[in-house]
Amino acid sequence: MQHSSALHRVITLSEALALRAQWRAEGVPLVFTNGHFDLLHVGHLDYLEKARALGGALLVAVNGDAATRALKGAGRPIVPAAERARLIAALHCVTAALIFEGETANSLISALQPEIYVKGGDYRHKPLPEREAVAVYGGRVVLIDTLADHSTSALIARIRALPADA
């Protein structure tokens, strides 16, 4: 198996579990997050860089297309899951990415038991569906403030506001 620092690719859950066992044996703390990451932008990069700084490996789960449609609405995702995951995996701060089909990451969290589960600071003011799954094994939830005015929804709005001849 490749050393984790050289991965930067999309992996399966079974590969993620094997890596997790390796990282645990090596004492490498796992940071885990999940999201849609539709229309990758600098806000995503900033968030993921801050997440990676919390541990030795960063595993990012990308919502599949059906879950993104269900959670974000008609017309989403704009970019298919395989492409979103490939872009995320290629970022220098991301160890590897995987695609998951659920609307929450609870099953992945239960399987991987990361030391740190990260979500955006917007979850300070709304329920975090994965919080209980992390608490069960004694993991830690960290909420990271996101860059103001950097969201996929804001980017879509700016694109829609472009003149037709742009």
- Region 6-29 average pLDDT: 95
Provide the token pair at 78: 């704009």
Place of tokens 């239960």: 110
Query: pLDDT, tens digit, for every residue of 115-162?
Result: 999 999 888 889 999 999 999 999 999 999 876 776 667 777 777 787
Q: Which domains does the chain have, with CATH numbers?
A: 4-160 (3.40.50.620)
- Region 2-19 average pLDDT: 83
Query: pLDDT, tens digit, for every residue of 66-119?
Result: 999 898 888 889 999 999 999 999 999 999 999 999 889 999 999 999 999 999
Q: Is the pLDDT assigned to residue 1 strictly greater than 60?
A: no
Spell out the long-range contacts of 119-127 with Cβ–Cβ below 8 A and sequence spacing 24 or more: 119/33, 119/143, 119/144, 120/35, 120/47, 120/144, 120/145, 120/146, 121/145, 121/146, 122/146
Q: Is the pLDDT assigned to residue 57 strictly greater than 80?
A: yes
pLDDT band at 3 (very low <50, low <70, confident <90, very high): very low
pLDDT of residue 4: 46
